[in-house]
Structure 1
Amino acid sequence: MHRFPEFLLKGYSNFMAGRYAREEERYRDLAKEGQNPSAMIVACCDSRSAPETIFDCGPGELFVLRNIANLVPPYQPDANLHGTSAAIEFAVKQLEIKDLIIMGHGRCGGIHAALNPDSVAIRKSDFVGNWVRLLNPVAEQVNGNSWMTEGERRTALERISIRHSIYNLRTFPFIKKREDEGQLALHGAWFDISTGELWVMDPDTGDFERPDA
């Protein structure tokens, strides 16, 4: 019989003795009253870019959705399973979040896959290949720039994909309505794993800039 990973049990023990002990009352209130986060972050599954860690948030402060390459598909209600769209719908309609952030990151494996659709990893994939094809139109344009290095193309698509997901968010009628009424703001952010730098997207120009710390 396989044992539960020991490092997770140790981490849980540290959590109970540390953070939970310090914030026990907060956890009890959250259990009793439910969650009421004001912001949602759509981030990548990459283990190096956890939003709660990057933004130093405690329990109940962020509603987080993580998927491969932090992508949002266009609005398409049908009989298929749409985990990402369902989470967004819940956050906007039920939790009534005020800010919805798409956060990408440097050296993203999902973006690398989108730029290399003929890679072995994609050919052997049942799901990843279809998922990152959401980026096909923009990935083809970025790949077509022969003056850019591979690393430059990847960084470019990491940021362009954020704008692409925000564009797709606006195809959701309930998001467009709330944004037009000033009840919801859409944001883009990009995190550089190697330096810890956070770049935030200017909502007017789409450029990424370093915010004042």
Structure 2
Amino acid sequence: MDNGEIRKDIPDDGLLPGISSLKKEYYRKETVWHRDWKLAFPPSFREVAFYDAANSDLHRADIFTPSGYTIEFQNSPLTLAELKSRESFYPNLIWVLNGKKFKGFKILKHLPDVDDPKLDAYEFCHSDHLSMIRKAEVIQGITNPKILNFYHPELKGVKLTSNLYSFCWKQPHSVWYAATAKIIVDLGGHFLYELKQRKQLNGNYPYLKMLSRKTFIDWHTPPEI
């Protein structure tokens, strides 16, 4: 589905088959976190409704921008089915998650550029410690490959970035690792963190990319005339 196929010309609620009053009431209930995020965008961007004729369903985007991006603010866990449903309906979806509710979530260390060509022959270890293993040993099927930290001669010259971080999540909501849309984690304060993954043979390596809250909002809000 492209942007042109998302219908905003929905009929009055009374003419929508299968849309219960309970569902309409649900859309009016939201947390302070949810409301404050929506207030950061112009009124015309908020609560934009789309009618899904194929499923006789009503979708309300928290934010829908003139450039065709949908921003959904998620304060609670989501099922995989609901995740796939929303991602299939909205072609340019961005999730903003309330990370302050995540249990056991902690930012750890600065990372190098994960796409640095110097690291092509290595894979990050899935641990709280910043370390890597040789990709060749993974390919060879070595059970306990040698763990290298960034003081090791092979990695010592690799510089760390100021905006990429490792993190731990002791009780993860694993559904978010299955998302195909961009994910932004809000931990409070002036900065946000995009949840990204580096593709690896030993399993994708999740990491965070920091950006300012103001920058994120400005990206999706046209300048004032």
TM-score, length of structure 1 as denominator length: 0.19
Which structure exhibits the higher relative contact order, with contacts defined as CA atoms closer than 8 Å and separated by 6 or more residues? 1
Would you tell me which structure has more strand in proportion to its own residues? 2
Q: Whose Rg is larger?
A: 2
TM-score, length of structure 2 as denominator length: 0.18
